[in-house]
Chain A
Amino acid sequence: MASPTVCPRTRLLTLLALLIGAALLFYGAAAHRVPVRKAPTPDQTDTDRAAAPDSLLLLSEFALTRDVAVGGVIRQPAGDLQRTYSGSTAPANACPT
């Protein structure tokens, strides 16, 4: 079969998309960290929790994606992210929907 050509502009678009995809993959895998608060314990007030030095986790996208797949992270009205489970409770084993 005679082979129609690939337009150079199309080739450029493809390579550009691949480059952008690779850059996003690299940044998402290697560098992107998302601050997420630990779930509060029953006896902790908001002030205690905010003041606790170890209440904030910096999650990688791998960990955050695993958590969102089981409804393990929610967005608080104030805008910060919080885990829905703590060390003493297990996360759900599937998405709540």
Chain B
Amino acid sequence: MASIDSFLTRLVSRRHWVQAAFLLVWLDPLALRLHGVCAPVFHCYACPLATFACPIGVLAQYAALHVVPFLALGVLITAGALFGGFLCGWACPFGFLQDVLARIPTPRFKLPYWLNYSRYAVLLALVLLVPLLYGVEHPLFICALCPAGAWEAVAPRLAQQLAAAQPVNWPNGLKIVLALLFLLAMIFTYRPWCRFCPLGAIFGLFNRFSALFLKLNLRACTSCQICAQSCDLALRPAHNPNDPNCIRCLECTICPQHALGPGTLLDRR
């Protein structure tokens, strides 16, 4: 499958165009409002332009109802098994927003690797346990805190209400604070939300065995660390090319020895 590898490698420099193109899918250009189905990306279903439902919102709401969301789980497992972290780096609209803000020329700080473990805590606690045990009214229910929901849904709806001189429904204070904190973080660090994203936690687990992955040729690798220096998430691709925190941006394929590149399940022995 050298053709898929070379295709993806050529696309690396145009990744933002691919992300922008996916917006045409997520932002409901045909006003279909297919909210009975969830998309495998982090996009709030209360966004006025959302085509699909948010899988994390669906998992959390179903946990509150004590019902197993077979369809949502099927979407997540199938998409994860096919693409793993590629969905984070190439398709996710909230990831795209973070990438756009990362282009603002400001001093940029790298976050410590251990912070990535937070997303498993968010997934277990805020997405599953809080709604399961306390319901959707709990202040720590994920949708009540989610910054993606704040910027994609709350902000445009507030604007609509203000413009129409209607009564304004303000979100809770913690949601506003988190939204502003993450917005600030997006300007000074790379993809801060991805360290806490419960959807990224799920897809990252598939990085080790997804059909599309990052392959490392140990014979070609000279341990020059150029791949680690090019990684904005402070990962070490030459040490672990299928790190669960990797969003598959493929910036590390800048490797001068061509030791790193996209691979597929069909790569032969």
Which A residues are closer than 8 A to B by beta carbons?
1-6, 10-11, 13-14, 17-18, 20-29, 32, 34, 60-66, 68-71, 73-75, 79, 81, 94-95, 97
Contact = CB atoms under 8 A, between A and B. Distances in A.
B192 interface: no
- Which range holds the interface residue count of chain B? 35 or more
10 closest cross-chain pairs (CB), A and B: A28-B71, A21-B78, A28-B70, A24-B74, A25-B74, A62-B36, A21-B77, A17-B81, A68-B61, A97-B143
Interface of B: 2, 5, 35-38, 44-46, 48, 53, 57-58, 61-62, 64-67, 69-82, 135-136, 141, 143-144, 149, 153, 157, 171, 206, 208-211, 215-220, 258-259, 261, 263, 265, 267-269
A26 B189 CA distance: 41
A69 B265 CA distance: 36
Contact of B258 (A1, A17, A23, A25): A1
A9 B90 CA distance: 27
Nearest to A16: B81
B153 A24 contact: no
Contacts of A32: 70-71
A28 B74 contact: yes
Contacts of B209: 10, 13-14, 17
B35 A94 contact: no
A2 B220 contact: yes
B38 A94 contact: no
Nearest to B61: A68
Given A24-B73, A81-B67, 16 more contacts: A3-B217, A6-B263, A6-B265, A6-B267, A20-B77, A21-B76, A21-B78, A25-B75, A28-B70, A29-B71, A64-B67, A68-B61, A68-B62, A69-B61, A94-B48, A97-B136
Nearest to A92: B46
B53 A14 contact: no
Given A61-B70, A66-B35, A94 B157 contact: yes
A5 B269 contact: yes
* Chain B at the A interface: SS class: mixed
B263 to A, nearest CB: 7
Given A28-B71, A95-B46, A75 B65 contact: yes
A25 B114 CA distance: 34
B66 A79 contact: yes
Nearest to A17: B81
B76 to A, nearest CB: 8
B59 to A, nearest CB: 10
Given A2-B219, A14-B210, A95-B45, A24 B58 contact: no
A15 B61 CA distance: 29
B7 to A, nearest CB: 14
B153 A95 contact: yes
Given A1-B261, A97-B171, A66 B36 contact: yes
Contacts of A24: 70-71, 73-74, 77
A85 B35 CA distance: 17
Nearest to B33: A66
A79 B258 CA distance: 58
A97 B150 CA distance: 10
Contacts of B206: 17
Given A17-B209, A28-B70, A69-B45, A4 B218 contact: yes
B66 A75 contact: yes
